[in-house]
Structure formats: structure tokens, C-alpha cells
Amino acid sequence: PTAVAWSHKGKLIAVGGWRGGVHVCEAKSGKVLARWRGHKENITSIVFSRDDKYLATGSGDDTAKVWSVRGGEPLLTMEQGDEYDVTGVAFSPDGNQLLTGDGENRVKLWDTRTGEEQRVLGAHSEAVSAVGWSANGRWAASGAWDDTLKLWDPAKGELVRTLRGHTDDITALAFSAKGERLISASDDRTVCVWNPGTGKLLQIFKGHTGPVISLAISPNGERAVSGSRGELKFWDLK
């Protein structure tokens, strides 16, 4: 698998693969409920909408898709218009917009009702590797190979601030459930915890022996877990 997502209600797991396929599984039993095919290249990212009715995928075929979880059909395809991977996807809290990052350094907003590009929020100086949207809707975030995170005001389409603290490529990011914390992972082997409202770097976790490639925050916002080469580490958040 190249991407995995857990539904917000905890009942389903979606898995994306190298050949562009998507599997939807029952979380409790692991039973495969559906197999979908729509992308031509590997799935780079996958995420459920807040109500778990829709699934968004980004792919190396330069597109993002929105799927009906119940119907299993691609409802919309967002075409990049160039030959750059869609590297990250994130739904707005109401599900009406999709945030994407791509290999051409851009962060874009799309209308999930029409599939139309609404605006380019801005750009990093290198490829975007991860995006996220806070549950309170206030913040959109992007991380990139330029070692920075950017916080955006999605309503205004403006850059709020750039967060600097990592010394190598950003690989993953995640907001806490209430949006009061943003955590980021990097090839520099660290995990950073930020206050998105102030941009302050609150904590730096060190201990991985290789690049950190994945992370998540617990639902109560008290712990984070990060993954590296063959290891998981758990961290207590302030």
C-alpha cells in the first residue's frame, strides 16, 4: 500500500496502491468491502470527508479524484493540466472544498461540487509533500521539500505564516482534533509540534534513527505517533 486512511467514525479503512487501485475494508474484521480502479498511476494520498460519505485520492497520474464511498464511483476528477503528481489531498470540514499539493510546488483549492479549480493559494520553492485542513476550518497547511510548512487562510486564500524549524524535507503533517496543534515530520529525523495561531515551535521530538515518514495525533490530542524505518515512536504532547 502507498496510502492509508481511517474513516472518522472508525468503521472503514481505505487503502491506495501502486497501480492506482483503492480498497475499502471493514476496520473491525479487515474484510475487503470494495475494490475500485480509477487512477492510472500510484495513489500518493487518501482521505475521508468528515461525514465519511466521500473519499479523496491524489495520484502520480497528475489527478485528484473524489469518490462516493457507498457507490464506489469517481464523482469528480481534478485535472492538474500538467505532468506533476498530486502529492497530498485534504477535505474542508464541510466537504465542499479539496486542498491539494503537487510536484510543481503548488497548493490549490478545488470545488468538490463542480471539480473546478477555485484558486492557487501559493507555492513553495520545492515540491509539496503533504497538506492538511484543521477541523475548525481556520487553517490549511502545507509541507514541502523546501523544509518549511506554510499556514493558509483558506477563506481569504492568503498565506498567514511560514513555519521554519526542520532542516530537511517535510514528509507528513497532521492537525489535532480541535486545531490547536499542528505536528510535522521530516527527513531530518524529527517531529515538530507547532501552535498554528502564533507559529510558535512548542516541542521538538528526537530519537528516530532514520527519516520520519508518517505521523498521527490521538483523538484527545494528548499523544502523537510517528513512523520511521521499521519503528514507531509515541510522544506526549504539551
Q: Which domain holds residue 110?
A: 3-123
Q: What value does the mean pLDDT take over residues 193-220? A: 95
Res. 83 pLDDT band, cuts 50 70 90: confident
Report the distance separating Cα 233 and Cα 165, nearest Å. 20
User: Sign of dihedral through CA atoms 158, 161, 221, 25?
Assistant: positive
pLDDT digits (tens, 9 = 90+) for 153-195: 999 999 999 999 999 999 999 999 889 999 999 999 999 999 9
Q: Is residue 107 part of a domain?
A: yes
The answer to whether the CB of 191 falls within 8 A of the CB of 216 is no
Is 150 a domain residue?
A: no
147 lies in a domain?
no
Residue 223 inside a domain? The answer is: no
Q: Tell if the pTM clears 0.85, that is, is over it.
A: yes
Contacts of 161 (CB under 8 A, 6+ apart): 150, 151, 199
Q: Is 77 left (phi over 0), alpha (psi -120 to 50) or beta?
A: beta
- Answer yes or no: is 229 within a domain: no
How many CB atoms are closer than 10 A to CB 141?
28
Nearest CA-CA partner of 55 in 86, 87, 98, 17: 98
Mind giving me the DSSP string for 146-179?
A: TSEEEEEETTTTEEEEEEE--SS-EEEEEE-TTS
User: What pLDDT, on the 0 to 100 scale, is given for residue 198?
Assistant: 96
Q: Is residue 22 part of a domain?
A: yes
pLDDT at 219: 84
45 located within any domain:
yes
Number of domains in the chain: 1
pLDDT of residue 13: 93
Say if residue 202's pLDDT is above 80: yes
Residue 100 has pLDDT above 80, yes or no: yes
Residue 219 lies in a domain: no
pLDDT tens figures, 16-75:
999 999 999 999 999 999 999 889 999 999 999 999 999 999 999 999 999 999 888 889
Using a CB cutoff of 8 Å and minimum separation of 24, what contacts does 76-83 make?
76/112, 76/114, 76/115, 77/38, 77/115, 78/110, 78/115, 78/117, 80/104
Tell me the CATH number at 79.
2.130.10.10
Q: Decide if 181 contacts 195 (C-beta within 8 A).
A: yes
